[in-house]
Structure 1
Amino acid sequence: MEEKMIDIISRSLGGQPTTSDEKQELETWLNENGNKRFYEGLEMFSANSKEALRLPQANVERAFEKYLGKMQQSRTALRMRLIKKAMPYAASVLLMLGLFSVMMYLGNSDSGIAKQEQWLAAIEPGSQKAELILDDGEVLNLEEKKEKDEIKEKDGTVISNTGSALVYDVSAKTDNQKITYNSLVVPRGGEYQLQLEDGTKVWVNSETRLRYPTQFADNKRMVLLEGEAYFEVSKDKNRPFIVKTQGVDVRVLGTHFNISSYADEDAIRTTLVEGSVSVMDNKNPDENLLLSPGHQAVFSKKSGDLENKKVNVDLYTSWKDGKFVFQESSLTDIMNRVSRWYDVKVFYQNKEAGDLNFTGTLKRYESLDRLLGMIEKTNEVKFLFKDKTIIVQRK
């Protein structure tokens, strides 16, 4: 019966005659769940048959095998065989639209839609989670601490863990002890807060490592940052606060600012909210900028240049307040943030898609499908999903 149905559908798509009984069988098959929409997709392909005949069929078939893989369900297997049967008619359109377009036709069946919805439902936004690495190398999983807890270090430092933040208290620490260091490591899909011993508050973003002393020295306060963090630095005119990154040092006395210094991005951005900061190339101290509020220092890793830009600070600091804010932001920049926060991979079917610009605001704890749905409404791109990977397709 299956072979017969394939033959009937193939002849129907090719404009070849069918009997009245065969037409009735085809009508019955079309009324089954999801088949009519699939058939309409094949009709669109067959409309371009003349051009298609000049294109190689074998390469397209191999590509189908690669992307669709082994299919176990009889309905899907039948559709796969139908596509191959109709390949002489469909090849040109398939190559023009890209293989993922055909996957969308397959996905438009109820089972395909359900699988995509299940995939999106399984992708949850980030949460408060991190690892604390103590000076002696002990690693504590902060996500597992559900209630307020205290961590006591050997030097007398007491660290209170609320489940979303660490607070350092050195009142019990004895004098004349060597400086000890902790590291807060926040994974993809995580964020955490920290209050250092001087009262400085730090919001630490996804995929970030912050190394800091449990008690600062008498002449300066210094921390090391890889990733992104927002600082509210307690004022201390006798001890400058210095954030060191793999490119620039940011020096302040007391202020609010954000630093983004991810290793996979081409620039380090220091955005000032209030107060003042000095940003210096740590390999060339003569190259430095003094920022005023509402400005951003952009350090190019490739050229070593420092640029002072007037910016909307919300675009760079809203993450700590639970929001995504975009203003003419490239899709590449948006999806970089999405991939870290939702812990997914992103693949661009073509480079042009990543260069598109979008504007909008969304709560950081919204579901992933809402964010992607807002972008899709622009009719500029389409998102496909496979194995925790978002495939970006230009429309």
Structure 2
Amino acid sequence: MQQQEIWFSAVQEEERMRYDADQAFEAFRQRVAEHRTPKQPKRVIGWKSVFKYAAAVLVVGLVSFFSYQKGESNLKEALTQVEVEAPLGAQTRLRLPDGTLVVLNAGSRLVYPQDFGVDNREVELSGEGYFEVARNEKLPFHVQTPSLSVRVLGTKFNFRDYPNDEEAVIALLEGKVALGNRLREEAEIILLPDEQVTLDKEEGHMKKKSTKVKNSLEWTSGRLFFDEMPLPEVAKILERSYGVHITFATDSLRDLRFYGSFSRSEQDIKDILQALVKTGKVRYTQTEKEITLY
């Protein structure tokens, strides 16, 4: 823009020097015309117009003020939140200010306020996390996801609720927890050790059953455990654990279930895929991070 402005200035100077005489005559003619043209009466602005403009300015001012207040409130809230993530292919362990141990599985996120443990113990979970909650009867521990809310005093449990999963699952190892359904009106469910609740996100119903919860915690020690798990769920776990993308070329594979136990430190994604092939029902192709099952 600076070069363009300089170029225009040079042109204007050249034109001024070329037409000085013409401009002098034109200026004289305009002054004569001004004396002959009657002056227009001054426009008087009424009080109604003043109030109208003042009201418009006030409305704009109020909108700007409340927008600023809302933006400032959101900014303060964001600045007072602590967010911890476990990237794909990795896990994250953390100790909350109250002493609670949390292990986040791959592709998970935990958010809690900076003043956690002062007036409340509330956290938000996206993904899967194992919790060993420090006991505090005066301040119950709350975990919330878009689907479920969990209230405990002191306990050990596993909570899985990934955004793209069809189900949310919570399994209790020790203590007692109360579950609330956030998708529909439903009575709280009390969970006891070696019990599991599964929430169908589409229908919104919770179902409780007995289970071996220790199997659900294999991932915290670096193992992958599949207990008659549907193949689409197996694929999701492999995607998060190894940072790959898995697609199905044949829809009939989605009805298959798989059983197996693997060590992430000793076996890679190819070992697990070979185990699937040995069932005689699955084959695969792989190009870098893309895997197709057929």
Q: How far did 1:285 drift?
A: 5.9
Of 96, 121, 128, the match for 1:228: 128
Of 210, 223, 230, the match for 1:330: 230
Cross-structure match for 1:340: 240
1:317 to 1:294, Cα distance in 2 relative to 1, 3 A: same
Of 190, 203, 212, the match for 1:290: 190
State how far apart, in whole Å, the 2-side matches of 1:292 and 1:249 are.
Answer: 16
Cross-structure match for 1:208: 108
Unaligned regions of 5+ residues in structure 2, if any? 1-75
Cross-structure match for 1:362: 262
Q: How far did 1:313 drift?
A: 1.6
Q: Which SS does the other structure have where 1:381 is aligned?
A: coil
> Does residue 272 of structure 1 match 2:172?
yes
Structure 2 counterpart of 1:267, one-letter code = E
Contact 2:85 2:92 survives alignment (8 Å): no
Cross-structure match for 1:383: 284
> Does residue 320 of structure 1 match 2:224?
no
Cross-structure match for 1:351: 251
Q: How far did 1:237 drift?
A: 0.8
Q: How far did 1:214 drift?
A: 3.0
State how far apart, in whole Å, the 2-side matches of 1:334 and 1:283 are.
Answer: 25
State how far apart, in whole Å, the 2-side matches of 1:217 and 1:303 are.
Answer: 35
Contact 1:314 1:325 survives alignment (8 Å): no
Q: How far did 1:302 drift?
A: 1.2
Cross-structure match for 1:57: none
Q: Structure 1 length normalisation: TM-score?
A: 0.53
Q: How far did 1:284 drift?
A: 4.6
State how far apart, in whole Å, the 2-side matches of 1:375 and 1:254 are.
Answer: 40
Structure 2 counterpart of 1:380, one-letter code = K
CA shift digits 1:111-156 (9 cap, x unpaired): xxxxxxxxxxxxxxxxxxxxxxxx8979xxxxxxxxxxxxxxxxxx
Q: Which SS does the other structure have where 1:190 is aligned?
A: coil
**Residues 102-181 of structure 1 mapped to structure 2, 5 A cutoff:** 180-181=80-81
- Aligned CA RMSD, in angstroms, stands at 2.0
Q: How far did 1:267 drift?
A: 1.3
Q: How far did 1:330 drift?
A: 1.5
1:314 to 1:331, Cα distance in 2 relative to 1, 3 A: farther
State how far apart, in whole Å, the 2-side matches of 1:377 and 1:346 are.
Answer: 18
State how far apart, in whole Å, the 2-side matches of 1:213 and 1:356 are.
Answer: 42
State how far apart, in whole Å, the 2-side matches of 1:383 and 1:283 are.
Answer: 37
**Residues 173-192 of structure 1 mapped to structure 2, 5 A cutoff:** 180-192=80-92
State how far apart, in whole Å, the 2-side matches of 1:280 and 1:340 are.
Answer: 27
Q: Structure 2 length normalisation: TM-score?
A: 0.70
CA shift digits 1:209-233 (9 cap, x unpaired): 1101233244431000111110000
Structure 1 counterpart of 2:102, one-letter code = V
Contact 1:240 1:251 survives alignment (8 Å): yes
Q: How far did 1:314 drift?
A: 3.2
Q: How far did 1:301 drift?
A: 1.2
State how far apart, in whole Å, the 1-side matches of 2:283 and 2:115 are.
Answer: 50
Contact 1:269 1:299 survives alignment (8 Å): yes
Structure 1 counterpart of 2:214, one-letter code = D
State how far apart, in whole Å, the 2-side matches of 1:239 and 1:137 are.
Answer: 23
> Does residue 251 of structure 1 match 2:151?
yes
Contact 1:197 1:214 survives alignment (8 Å): no
Structure 2 counterpart of 1:223, one-letter code = V
Comparing 371-380 with 280-289, which one deviates more in the overlay?
280-289
> Does residue 392 of structure 1 match 2:279?
no
Structure 2 counterpart of 1:338, one-letter code = L
Q: How far did 1:253 drift?
A: 0.3
Structure 1 counterpart of 2:270, one-letter code = D
Of 203, 224, 228, the match for 1:303: 203
Q: Which SS does the other structure have where 1:334 is aligned?
A: helix
Q: Which SS does the other structure have where 2:91 is aligned?
A: strand
1:217 to 1:195, Cα distance in 2 relative to 1, 3 A: closer
CA shift digits 1:226-252 (9 cap, x unpaired): 111100000011110000100110010
State how far apart, in whole Å, the 2-side matches of 1:214 and 1:285 are.
Answer: 31
Cross-structure match for 1:193: 93
State the aligned residue count: 219
Identical counterparts, % of pairs:
31
Contact 1:219 1:238 survives alignment (8 Å): no
